[in-house]
């Protein structure tokens, strides 16, 4: 088996057994980046080889000394470029932060480093995580490694494409309205959005503070559980962090769904869902049913209201969060201006891209006097109703299954020409964020063009173990998923 056909946990075992060194793993990753990065553009920044190797040797010494014993010790990782990394440029794929080097690291990154992770670089994304295709990045679009004429999804498209192409063994993404699960579906990998508050948001540059959550993007469910176990923790620096009693997610890797109650929302399989996606998702449900799960259809009536509620709330929070980028304290500043207000205007006009400007304007509008009650408060009430409807569903079902996206990955350029169409592509994922629930996307097939399809599983708050067990059981029934063409040449 070549190095890049290994999962992160498999590689971790080889390193621990002394069959592979951390330096070997990092060299292989850098070779693959050299071979495919020019075409795919997964990274905003790959660290200097000397810096990576120095960290690799440091980690190897700690493994040899028995200090690092976790499953991910020595395994190379990529970090989405909206998570602060001390001394490493963090741009959110925006011109306005092109030269920003944080003086601290986000808590999730610190947790990974404690486990012996070696950071390869920062992955490309939609600017400030605003988009579903990774085409709004100031540093150029990322391409889908299964077919470079298609998008990898977004906003964590760089992380998803890097994992699929073998440019890293796993990656961190962030999910505000499906930004982990949708690109995971498009790139044929596993992506998980944990329950809101499970992973610290400290050091994550905020888009929508009440919705954002960091999560793993991996080759399989075992890796997903291992990464989640590494990054999940209570953090007093994050006011939204929740202290959980149990962080042992790998214990949920059990192949057993007998008696598991699965709800299938009729509304998720109505008009607008691609036929091949529907067939693949229902095929995944059938495999779980054959293993003893109990499947039942039900109505989830609030689905049509999720998109308008989400875009009102997320844009309102974004307009507030992005007000700090003004050219005064850090980042880009316009060259020529007259007075302070003119400097603000020119800096923000030149520094932000069209999609970010669109959402700032929408957010400022819904928060403005006279429209706050009509739009923002109404959206918050809708969010509460969506949460209530999910609560009622989880009284009957252990998990809810549906598609991660209505289609497979669209062609490059198709979504940008129609922003509303791009927003509607998030219809199956955003409810999970509005309700603070955990969700996972697992590859379940490919369409006639060979593009991957993902099945989305959703559980009640803090029921990640149920989700991992169901996803792992499905994965065992499905068998190995195809290797991405970009990875086939990896050594």
Query: Residue 85 in 3-state DSSP?
Result: strand
> In sequence order, what are the residues at sequence separation of 6 or more whose Cβ sits closer than 8 angstroms to the Cβ of residue 136?
93, 126, 127, 130, 154, 353, 354, 355, 356, 416
13-38 pLDDT, tens per residue? 999 999 999 999 999 999 999 999 99
Q: Which of 82, 64, 282, 286 is nearest to 174 (CA)?
A: 82
Q: Are the beta carbons of 272 and 406 closer than 8 angstroms?
A: yes
Q: Which of 242, 248, 216, 238 is nearest to 112 (CA)?
A: 216
Q: Which of 330, 372, 476, 488 is nearest to 4 (CA)?
A: 488
* pLDDT of the residue at 489: 57
Give, in degrees to the nearest 5, the angle at Cα 41 between 409 and 315: 60
In terms of CATH, what superfamily is 3-255+440-487? Amidase signature (AS) domain (3.90.1300.10)
> In sequence order, what are the residues at sequence separation of 6 or more whose Cβ sits closer than 8 angstroms to the Cβ of residue 222?
7, 9, 250, 253, 472
* pLDDT of the residue at 4: 73
Q: Are the beta carbons of 121 and 81 closer than 8 angstroms?
A: no
227-266 pLDDT, tens per residue? 999 999 999 999 999 999 999 999 999 999 999 999 999 9
Rounded Cα–Cα distance for residues 206 and 213 (Å):
10
* pLDDT of the residue at 421: 66
* pLDDT of the residue at 486: 87
Q: Are the beta carbons of 90 and 116 closer than 8 angstroms?
A: no
Runs of H (alpha helix) within 177-292:
181-187, 221-231, 275-290
Rounded Cα–Cα distance for residues 115 and 329 (Å):
33
**Residue 30 host element (H or E):** helix 22-40
308-332 pLDDT, tens per residue? 999 999 999 999 999 999 999 899 9
| Given the residues 179, 185, 441, 473, the one annotated as active site | 179
Quote helix, strand, coil % in the chain, to nearest 5.
45, 15, 40
Q: Are the beta carbons of 100 and 83 closer than 8 angstroms?
A: no
199 has pLDDT over 50 = yes
- Asked, as a colleague might, if the bond just before 155 is cis with ω within 30 of 0, I would say yes
* pLDDT of the residue at 425: 77
What's the mean pLDDT in 90-119? Answer: 97
| Given the residues 155, 156, 319, 415, the one annotated as active site | 155
CA dihedral 274, 402, 166, 413 (to 10 degrees): 40
Mean per-residue pLDDT over the chain, rounded: 95
What's the mean pLDDT in 210-230? Answer: 98
Q: Where are the domains of the chain?
A: 3-255+440-487
Rounded Cα–Cα distance for residues 320 and 341 (Å):
18
In the residue annotation, 349 being an active-site residue is answered as: no
Rounded Cα–Cα distance for residues 86 and 202 (Å):
13
- State the CB neighbour count (10 A cutoff) for residue 142: 35
| Given the residues 27, 80, 383, 465, the one annotated as active site | 80
Rounded Cα–Cα distance for residues 114 and 69 (Å):
11
Percentage of residues in the chain having pLDDT higher than 90: 91
Rounded Cα–Cα distance for residues 238 and 24 (Å):
37
What's the half-sphere exposure (Cβ side, CA atoms, 13 Å) at 224?
Answer: 33
- State the CB neighbour count (10 A cutoff) for residue 47: 19
In the residue annotation, 80 being an active-site residue is answered as: yes
272-300 pLDDT, tens per residue? 899 999 999 999 999 999 999 999 999 99
204 has pLDDT over 80 = yes
User: Facing residues of 88 across strands?
Assistant: 85
Q: Which of 293, 485, 284, 296 is nearest to 396 (CA)?
A: 296
In the residue annotation, 179 being an active-site residue is answered as: yes
Q: How far, rounded to the nearest angstrom, does the alpha carbon of residue 21 sit from its chain's CA centroid?
A: 29
373-422 pLDDT, tens per residue? 999 999 999 999 999 999 999 999 999 999 999 999 999 988 766 766 67
Percentage of residues in the chain having pLDDT higher than 70: 98
* pLDDT of the residue at 490: 46
Looking at per-residue confidence, does 270 or 182 come out higher? 182
* pLDDT of the residue at 491: 41
Rounded Cα–Cα distance for residues 82 and 100 (Å):
11
Give the dihedral sign, CA 79/445/250/75.
negative
**Residue 213 host element (H or E):** strand 213-218
- The per-residue b/e assignment along 344-363, b for 16 or more CB within 10 angstroms, e otherwise, is bebbbeebbbebbbebbebb
What's the mean pLDDT in 40-60? Answer: 98
* pLDDT of the residue at 2: 72
Query: Residue 450 in 3-state DSSP?
Result: coil
* pLDDT of the residue at 1: 55
Helix and strand totals (H; E) in the chain: 15, 11
């Amino acid at each position: 088996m070549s190095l890049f056909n290994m999962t992160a946990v498999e590689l971790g075992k080889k390193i621990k057994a002394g069959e592979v060194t951390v330096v070997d793993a990092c060299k292989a990753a850098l070779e693959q980046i050299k071979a495919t990065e020019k075409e795919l553009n997964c990274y905003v920044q790959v660290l200097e080889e000397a810096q990576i190797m120095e960290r690799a040797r440091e980690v190897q010494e700690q493994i040899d000394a028995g200090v690092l014993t976790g499953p991910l010790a020595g395994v190379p990782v990529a970090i989405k470029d909206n998570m602060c990394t001390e001394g490493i440029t963090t741009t959110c794929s925006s011109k306005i932060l092109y030269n920003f080097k944080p003086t601290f690291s986000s808590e999730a990154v610190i947790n990974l480093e404690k486990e012996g992770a070696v950071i390869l670089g920062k992955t490309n994304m939609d600017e400030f995580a605003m988009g579903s295709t990774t085409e709004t990045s100031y540093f150029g679009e990322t391409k889908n490694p299964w077919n470079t004429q298609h998008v990898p999804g977004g906003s964590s498209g760089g992380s998803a494409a890097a994992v699929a192409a073998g440019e890293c063994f796993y990656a961190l993404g962030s999910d505000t309205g499906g930004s982990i699960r949708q690109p995971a579906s498009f790139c044929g990998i596993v992506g998980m959005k944990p329950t809101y508050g499970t992973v610290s948001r400290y050091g994550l540059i905020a888009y929508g503070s009440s919705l954002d959550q960091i999560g793993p993007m991996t080759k399989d469910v075992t890796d997903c559980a291992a990464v989640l176990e590494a990054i999940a923790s209570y953090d007093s620096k994050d006011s939204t962090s929740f202290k959980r009693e149990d962080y042992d997610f790998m214990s949920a890797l059990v192949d057993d769904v007998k008696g598991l109650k699965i709800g299938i929302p009729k509304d998720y399989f109505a008009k607008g869902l691609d036929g091949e996606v529907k067939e693949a998702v229902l095929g995944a449900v059938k495999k779980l049913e054959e293993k003893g799960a109990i499947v039942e259809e039900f109505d989830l009536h609030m689905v049509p209201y999720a998109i308008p509620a989400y875009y009102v709330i997320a844009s309102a929070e974004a307009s507030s969060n992005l007000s700090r980028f003004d050219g005064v304290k850090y980042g880009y500043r316009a060259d020529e201006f007259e007075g302070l207000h003119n400097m603000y205007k020119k800096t923000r006009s030149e520094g932000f891209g069209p999609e970010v400007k669109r959402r700032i304007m929408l957010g400022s509008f819904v928060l403005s006097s006279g429209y706050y009650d009509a739009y923002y408060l109404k959206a918050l009430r809708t969010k509460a109703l969506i949460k209530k409807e999910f609560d009622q569903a989880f009284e009957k079902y252990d998990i809810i299954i549906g598609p991660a996206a209505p289609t497979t990955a669209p062609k490059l350029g198709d979504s940008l020409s129609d922003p509303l169409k791009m927003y509607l592509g998030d219809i199956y994922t955003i409810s999970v964020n509005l309700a603070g629930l955990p969700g996972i996307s697992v590859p379940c097939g490919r369409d006639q063009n060979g593009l991957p399809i993902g099945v989305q599983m959703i559980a009640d708050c803090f029921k990640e173990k149920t989700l991992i067990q169901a996803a792992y059981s499905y994965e065992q029934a499905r068998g190995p998923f195809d290797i991405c063409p970009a990875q086939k040449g990896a050594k």
